[in-house]
Amino acid sequence: MASPSENTQSGLMAKAVKEGIFAGAIAFGMFLLYVGIETYQDIDNRLVWRTRWGLLAIFVLVAAVGRFLTVGFIKPHIDRRKLAKAKSGVLEISEDKGFFHKHFLKIALIALLLYPIGSVMLFGPQGSLKYVDNFGIQILIYVMLAWGLNIVVGLAGLLDLGYVAFYAVGAYSYALLSANFGLSFWILLPLAGILAAMWGIILGFPVLRLRGDYLAIVTLAFGEIIRLVLINWTDVTQGTFGISGIAKASVFGIWSFDVGSPNYFPRAMGLATSSAWYKIFLFYVILALCLVTAYVTIRLRRMPIGRAWEALREDEIACRSLGINTVATKLTAFATGAMFGGFAGSFFATRQGFVSPESFVFLESAVILAIVVLGGMGSLTGIAIAAVVMVGGTELLREMEFLKLIFGPDFTPELYRMLLFGLAMIIVMLFKPRGFVGSREPTAFLRERKAVSGSFTKEGHG
């Protein structure tokens, strides 16, 4: 007779084979029509179809073998490791944090400060453009937007699907006021923030009574209204043509980045004429803006208003029973979040030199919200990581030339960006349903600061 362990081993294999065949059958059923058959037009413009049995076989095989390996080898391995850990009595949470983990924020900040310098040294001024502009600035804009939205969604628990409206208000405030009145970036930056905050309050008033799904729908509508106004109010906004030739930001009014100007910054510094210096300057501006956002958010969380926001997310009725004016609390959350959106918007306008309603579509709101949710609602670090993964990841896909070797020379990775992006999101949400950082840092403590597990915090009801 076989020993028990051999017995379970053979039982496991039989189970793995069975599940593998089953998964293959499901994949066959699902992909038979989508993958197995292809339609195309022949020379006479007739629609004809042909079969792709080889490709279908690959799909089915991947599914079947993948399932077989998961059930037969990967899952038992993970279970064994978990069991060993439980037996040894070492809890995962009590493990000592490594040096990198402990000093993560400092390391990240130094890396960010050195990032443009490093890329200039490695790739030269012109070669660094891609890394500083496409990756650095692009990601930091989304970090800032997501941190702004985090105040509304992550802290106050008000689901806002129209956040891009405030981004648009900030961008157009800068574009219009600088074009019509010639005001400088450093005056318009705070002004754009104030104007966006005002719009945040204007939006806040009608939606105060709404909660949950209803709030989400109204904010979504608000985002669309702003975009449609921008498209149709052609006298002011020039409609879909957008506003071009927006003034560049100056170095605090001392040096400028216009090549013709006598105070041209690279010349004053003795550098070669290149647009890269402007981008590097912008990189530091957005980095500073992000740090301001993070600082204000961290400070606000420890203030009564920040605690009231989080309490509002947990239970609105209890808030009112404690004498908290929930109307004012919600409005300040909307206004503060919108203000950071406005800052980011005016920065976006000066960086692009061009704004049009096309930049402020619903997809942008969805991406920003996805970053907040993926990062872990309320956690600044988690959101920053999520922004790097999502924005940086999609940018990186543009560079994936080697994918052509796998999928054939006519494969264009850019077209699959959104597909892969969606897949990545589903995978992250399956394994980390509370986002990258699911726990919450308490704002005050008596003896020791213990992180609050994500299973206790609520997402808010609107």
Binding site for other proteins (CB under 8 A): 296, 299-300, 303-305, 307-308, 310-311, 313-315, 317-326, 332, 440, 442-450, 452-453, 456-458
Closer residue to other proteins (CB): 252 or 456: 456
Closest to other proteins by CB, 101 vs 320, is: 320
Q: Which is nearer to other proteins, 392 or 442 (CB)?
A: 442
Report in angstroms how near the CB of residue 437 gets to other proteins at its nearest: 14
User: Smaller CB distance to other proteins: residue 245 or 323?
Assistant: 323
Rank residues 197 and 220 by Cβ distance to other proteins and give the closer one: 197
Other CB atoms within 10 Å distance of the CB of residue 201: 13
Q: How far is the CB of 291 from other proteins (least distance, A)?
A: 15
Residues 361 and 363: their CA atoms lie apart, in Å, by 5
Structure tokens belonging to residue 293 = 């956002």
Contacts of 389 (CB under 8 A, 6+ apart): 374, 424
Residue 158 or 300: the one with the smaller Cβ distance to other proteins is 300
Least separation in angstroms between CB 191 and other proteins:
19
Which CB, 138 or 329, lies closer to other proteins? 329
For the bound state, the minimum distance from the C-beta of residue 234 to other proteins, rounded and expressed in Å, comes to: 40
| SS3 per-residue string spanning the chain | CCCHHHHHHHHHHHHHHHHHHHHHHHHHHHHHHHCCEEEEECCCCCEEEEECHHHHHHHHHHHHHHHHHHHHHHHHHHHHHHHHHHHHCCCCCCCCCCHHHHCHHHHHHHHHHHHHHHHHHHHHHHHHHHHHHHHHHHHHHHHHHHHHHHHHHHHCCCCCCCCHHHHHHHHHHHHHHHHHHCCCHHHHHHHHHHHHHHHHHHHHHHHCCCCHHHHHHHHHHHHHHHHHHHHHCHHHHCHHHCEECCCCCCECCCEECCCCCCCEHHHHHCCCCCCHHHHHHHHHHHHHHHHHHHHHHHHHHCCHHHHHHHHHHHCHHHHHHCCCCHHHHHHHHHHHHHHHHHHHHHHHHHHHCEECHHHHCHHHHHHHHHHHHHHCCCCHHHHHHHHHHHHHHHHHHCCCCCHHHHHCCCCCHHHHHHHHHHHHHHHHHHHCCCCCCCCECCCCCCCCCCCECCCCCCCCCC
**Residue 297 Cβ vs other proteins, minimum distance, rounded to whole Å:** 11
The nearer residue to other proteins, 219 or 329, going by C-beta atoms, is: 329
Give the shortest CB-286-to-other proteins separation in angstroms.
Answer: 22
CB of 285 to other proteins, least distance (A): 22
Instruction: Give min distance, CB of 449 to other proteins, in A.
Output: 7
Closest to other proteins by CB, 279 or 440:
440
Q: Which is nearer to other proteins, 305 or 429 (CB)?
A: 305
Q: Are 203 and 334 in contact (CB under 8 A)?
A: yes
Shortest Å distance, C-beta 303 to other proteins: 5
Token representation of residue 58: 């690959």
**In the complex, least distance from residue 307 CB atom to other proteins, rounded to whole angstroms:** 5
